[in-house]
Amino acid sequence: MKTLVTLFSLLTINTAKAYHCDQFETQLIAKGTETVTESGICVGKLTKVIDYKPSILCPVLLEDIYRSGVTLDEAQCELTKESGRISGIVISSQGTLILE
């Protein structure tokens, strides 16, 4: 039984290392603020993380979210402005973090 568990663990680790990520994602609930850039893009900045659940194989790192913020659509921007919350799935797309 111990051998079987060890074999399964090694197989899982090797599979994770060999996996190519086309998309990185993380589930996030946080307190935050919104900022509209000069080009009119709304960016959510985190002030406090309430819940962070990264993807097992292809996570968006919390440090990246804190550093660059998350691009919000108009409705998300207004909701963040009103509630002070940023909540959803953060996806890394072409170097930009987007909230879905």
The yes-or-no verdict on residue 16 having pLDDT over 90 is no
pTM check: above 0.85: no
Dist CA 66 CA 26 (whole Å) = 13
Rounded (5°) CA angle 25-41-97:
15
Distances in whole angstroms, Cα of residue 44 to Cα of each of 2, 15, 35, 41, 93: 47, 34, 6, 10, 16
**Residue 14: what pLDDT?**
47
Dist CA 10 CA 28 (whole Å) = 30
* Residue boundaries of the structural domains of the chain: 22-99
**pLDDT tens digit string along 24-80?**
999 999 999 998 887 889 999 999 999 999 999 999 999 999 999 999 999 999 999
Structure-token match 């990520």, residue found: 21
Dist CA 99 CA 44 (whole Å) = 9
